Each structure stands twice: as C-alpha cells, then as structure tokens.
Amino acid sequence: MIPKRIYAAWFVVHFFLITAVCFAGIFSLVAEGTTALPSVLDKYARKAELIAAFVLGKEAAASSPVRRGVATYLYAAGSQSGYTFFAPNVPGYYQLSLELNYEDGRVEYESPRVSGKAAALRLDSLLNRLADDRYEPIREVVVKMLVFSVWREHPGVKKIRATFGSVTPPSISDFGQGKRESFQPLFSYDFSLRTEQNE
Amino acid sequence: MEFLFPSESDKWLAILRIGLGLQVTVYTLFLKSDWHYLFAGTGKGLVSRELGEAIISFDSPSIPKLGWLVALGSYVNVAEETVLSVAWACLLVAGCCLLRGLFCRPAARIAWFLHRCEAQSGGLLAYGADNFMTMGLFYLMLSPLPDRFSVDHRLVKIKPKDPQLLGFWRRVLQVHLCLVYFFGGLGKSLGSGWWDGSNLWRALTRPPFDIISPDILIRFKYLLPILGISIVLIELGYVFFIWMKETRFIWLGCIVGMHIAIGITMGMYLFALVMIVLNLAAFGADPGFAERRSRTIRKKFERSKQTQYRCLV
C-alpha cells in the first residue's frame, strides 16, 4: 500500500503542472492581442507566458531530461495543452482548394477528403494548424502530402495548383442582408506531379 | 488530507469504466473506414504518420507512438498495414472489455497506450476529444480497478478496495474538471464574441460543425447572446457551484445539457460523450455524496477486512 503522503505529493505536482499549462494557454491568448483586454497588458502576458513555459521546462535545451520528462508526463496524462477551445473568439476557418489539370486540358476542382465525420473533424483541425505561423516550416510539406493523397485518386492529372485560404463567414446581420462567406487566398503552390517538384 | 481522501464507494469508478469503454468502442468504430488513411506512412495516407511523430519527438522522443509498433512489426516481418489493423482491433477489444468489466486493469492500460500512440502519431490531426480521452483513460488505469459491477469482480472474489483510495482518484478527476471548465470559461470571457452571441453564430455555421442551417439559426438570433453568456457563466461557475450541495445537480445538469447540445448541433459526438462520462463519474454518482455516506462505507470496509482476517486464521 502506497502511503497517503506519496499520493498527496503526486497530486500537488500533477496539478501544479496542469495549472501551469492552463495559465500558459491564457497568457498566450492575451499576449497575441486576441482578447478584449487592453493592449498594454500584452507584454506582461508575454512575460508571464515565458514564466509558465520555464516552469514546464520548455525554456531548457531540447535534450534536457527535465524538459523531456515533463513533456512525456503531460502527454501521457493528456494534459499537454490548455483548455481554451473556441476562446477568446471562434476563428474563421480554412480551405485547401485543389485545381486538377489533366493531360487533355480538362480542369477539375477538388479538396482533400475523408469518409467519416470523426475524421472530417481531424482534417479541419489539420487545416487550422496549417494557418498557424508555428507550422510555417512544415506547411509546404503537408500541403504536398495532401495534394498527393488526392492525386492517387486521379492518376491522369498532370498538374495541381493548391490554394490555401481563410474563409470569413458573414456576421449574423450580414447574413440577414444576403451576404455570404468570402474566401481570402493566403498562399498557393503549383505541383507538377511527374517530378513532384514544387515550382 | 481529508479533502484528498474522502471515503467513496466504487459506483463512480463503474461509471467511468463503462463510459470510457463505450467511448473507446464508439471511437474505434467511427474511425474504422479512415483508420489506415489517417495513420499510414509516407505516400500511403492523407498525411504521413512519420511527420506527425517527428514533430512530437521534438518535445520528447519517449512519448508512445504507432511508429514503435510498426517498427516492432517490421522486426518480425509484419507489414505496416497489418500492424495498424491489429492496433485498431486491440483498441476495439480493449474498449469492449472495459464496457463489460473483463480484465479491467489490463484493458485500461492497453486502451490508454494504444489511444496515446494513435493521438501522437496523428498529432497534426488531433483535436480536443483526444486529450480528454487520454486523460480519462490515464485516471482509469491508475484507479483501483476492478469495481464491484465488473465481470472481473464476479469471476474472482477480490477484496474490497480502500474507500479512501477510491475517494482520492475521484477527487483527482473532480479537481481536473474544475480546472478544465474554469480556464475554458476564463478564455471565453476574454472574447467579446461570447457576450454578444456572435461566437455561437460562428461556431454553428462553420464547417464541419454546420449541421443546423443558418436560415433556421437566424430565427433564434435573439437567443444567441443569452446562450453565449450562459456558456461562459456555466463554465466559470462550475468550479464554485459544483461543490455546493444545493447547486451541484443544477450545475451538473447544465454542463451535461451543454455537452449534449454540442454533440447534437455541432456533430461533435465523441467530444460530447467523453465530457458527459467524465462529469457523471466525477459528480454524478452517489447523489448523497461522500460526506453523508463516508462513515457507512468505511464501516463496511473495516468489517470486510475483519471477515477476511477471520477466514485466514
């Protein structure tokens, strides 16, 4: 039987880490200036976010055992990210539109697809991540993989233009006046599928 | 110390086990048609599993991932596709075992491990429900299983679990949920869109959550600010009102109602189910709650220990 003091100590450490993760999430929202709070607080929130990151070992070297130990534990407990879903505001969404150019000159439009609703939520989550600046280094690789997944179903395609953009839905009053969502392209890539080279 | 170790029966643990068993089973069945497509290696699926695993490895290389199982499979000449199919089948079986209460602890460990592997390998594709499932399975495998409603308990006469230990793990779940809702509510309260209803409009009209037609929603536009404010207040108030005997069931009802509404109106069935299960396990079982029953449970436990002692002598 493990003594109660051990359980109590684990309880304190466990919730200390989870609270730090939660505060890091809140401070990050404030620091990004996405909240209704005055912008003068942004720099303080950035500092506080750094303190929370330090507590979680994220400021240590990538090979630091403390950093790795804390990260592994938090992932194991399912608590590696905060709970700021749809906060402070619900963002617009993103679309990846693929223009398929066939050898015979035909053009078709497609999007990456999955068959189930549960998987569709995951695809939506992936597209939201692609728009995030933190994912910029892998953006092209991921788009290339998504393009490749569509190409496998359309082997006759010669070239694919992938356009990634944000969709701004109309506000409730705009919708009442007949306005519909607008698409704003953010970046596009041309893939020649014979060589799989990004032009 | 008394706060951390209240005496509890194992009803809440049965709810958590059965609920998470159902969650894992439904989760695997929902992902059946897309399983290989989502978790296949480079050039075979939607995006490469290896890419997701490489990103996660920056945080720590020791986080479980499907790549470990695939590597193990290739060591004994088993193809990647077969390994993924076996992982899917094992997760389904673990879910069914939890649901029935058969081999509870090994089933909880296997379910936690395989789900963690899947969530890490599909890291780029993961969303909120994954974290809550891992969290629930993590607490379930650490809790004193099996409960008395399980098949395990009927097959093998297992000595009663320490009510204070049961109380401790329930307390952990309760405190965690309070943090979830408090920070969720705090984050929402900082955005203007939750106070004027525009966030609710946006959430309900953006794909893939756009189950209700905007033409129907616009008829209820005056309700949206009220619902938006209610969501913020329910989440922020959870940490206070769920502990008070007078308001506990009102708040529990509100939060369960909120998740049912999220499931129905946004199609987030898995997210809704796991949140309802966690809430019912944490605050739903034992309406009388611990304070009233703790003495009786403790007495029963002591008596059963004495009985066992007499049998041994």
Q: What is the pLDDT of residue B62?
A: 87
A188, exposed or middle or buried, with CB in 10 Å at 0-12, 13-18, 19+? middle
Q: What is the pLDDT of residue B296?
A: 59
Q: What is the dihedral of CA B22, B23, B25, B28, to 10 degrees?
A: 170
Q: What is the pLDDT of residue A199?
A: 42
Q: Is residue B5 part of a domain?
A: no
Tell me how crowded residue B236 is: count the other CB atoms within 10 A of its CB: 18
The verdict on a CB contact (< 8 Å) between A145 and B120 is no
Distance (Å, whole) CA A197 – CA A177: 45
- Which residues contact residue A117 at a Cβ distance below 8 angstroms, ignoring those fewer than 6 apart? B30, B208, B267, B269
Q: Is residue B129 part of a domain?
A: yes
Q: What is the pLDDT of residue B69?
A: 94
SS3 (DSSP) at B20: helix
Among B120, B125, B173, B215, the strongest candidate for a mutation testing the A interface, having the largest count of A CBs within 10 A, is: B125
The verdict on a CB contact (< 8 Å) between B126 and A8 is no
Is-contact A150 A141, C-beta < 8 A? Answer: no
Q: What is the pLDDT of residue B286?
A: 67
Chain B positions touching A121 (Cβ under 8 A) are 127, 208, 267-268
Predicted TM-score (pTM) of the model is: 0.90
pLDDT category at A169 given cuts 50, 70, 90 is confident
Q: What is the pLDDT of residue A112?
A: 85
Distance from CA of A192 to the nearest CA of B (A): 16
Kindly state whether A178 is in contact with chain B, defined as any CB-CB distance less than 8 angstroms: no
Q: For residue B130, give its domain range.
A: 11-312
What letter would DSSP give residue B63? S
CA B312 to each of CA A150, B302, B309: distance values in angstroms, whole numbers, following the listed order: 68, 16, 5
Reading across the β-sheet that carries A157-168, which strands appear in turn?
A: A107-110, A93-102, A157-168, A182-192, A197-198
Share of chain A above pLDDT 90, in %: 36
Q: What is the pLDDT of residue A197?
A: 46
Q: What is the pLDDT of residue B301?
A: 59
Tokens representing A97 are: 């539109």
Q: What is the pLDDT of residue A120?
A: 86
Kindly state whether B131 is in contact with chain A, defined as any CB-CB distance less than 8 angstroms: yes
Q: Is residue B2 part of a domain?
A: no
Kindly provide the ipTM of the predicted complex, given to two decimals: 0.89
Kindly state whether A102 is in contact with chain B, defined as any CB-CB distance less than 8 angstroms: no
Distance (Å, whole) CA A149 – CA B3: 53
Structural domain count of chain B? 1
Among A86, A123, A150, the strongest candidate for a mutation testing the B interface, having the largest count of B CBs within 10 A, is: A86
Q: Is residue B4 part of a domain?
A: no
Kindly state whether A128 is in contact with chain B, defined as any CB-CB distance less than 8 angstroms: no
- Which residues contact residue A41 at a Cβ distance below 8 angstroms, ignoring those fewer than 6 apart? A30
Q: Is residue B1 part of a domain?
A: no
Q: Which A-chain residues 9-38 have CB contacts (< 8 A) with chain B?
A: 11, 14-15, 18-19, 22-23, 25-26, 29-30, 34-37
Q: Is residue B290 part of a domain?
A: yes
The verdict on a CB contact (< 8 Å) between B188 and A87 is yes
Distance (Å, whole) CA A41 – CA A29: 11
Distance (Å, whole) CA A163 – CA A143: 9
Candidate from A26, A37, A116 with C-beta closest to B30 = A116
Q: Is residue B60 part of a domain?
A: yes
- Tens of pLDDT along chain B (313 residues) come to 788 999 989 999 999 999 999 999 999 999 998 899 888 887 788 888 888 888 888 888 888 999 999 999 999 999 999 999 999 999 999 999 999 999 999 999 999 999 999 988 887 888 888 999 999 999 999 999 899 999 998 888 777 788 999 999 999 999 999 999 999 999 999 998 999 999 999 999 988 888 999 999 999 889 999 999 999 999 999 999 999 989 999 999 999 999 999 999 999 999 999 999 999 999 997 654 555 555 555 566 566 655 554 544 3
Candidate from B30, B58, B199 with C-beta closest to A89 = B199
- Which residues contact residue B200 at a Cβ distance below 8 angstroms, ignoring those fewer than 6 apart? B194, B224, B227, B228, B231
Q: What is the pLDDT of residue B295?
A: 57
The CA-based angle B123-B124-B129, given to 5 degrees, is: 65
Residues β-bridged to residue A12: none
The pLDDT tens digits of the residues spanning A18-71 come to 999 999 999 999 998 888 898 899 999 999 999 999 999 988 888 899 999 999
Matching residue, tokens 């929130």: A45
Is-contact B16 B304, C-beta < 8 A? Answer: no
Q: What is the pLDDT of residue B48?
A: 82
The verdict on a CB contact (< 8 Å) between B203 and A90 is yes
H-run or E-run covering A165: strand A157-168
Residue ranges of domains in chain A: 4-76, 93-198
Candidate from A62, A78, A171 with C-beta closest to B135 = A78
Chain A positions touching B116 (Cβ under 8 A) are 75-76, 78
**Residue in chain B nearest A60 by alpha carbon:** B59
Chain B positions touching A34 (Cβ under 8 A) are 191
Distance from CA of A179 to the nearest CA of B (A): 12
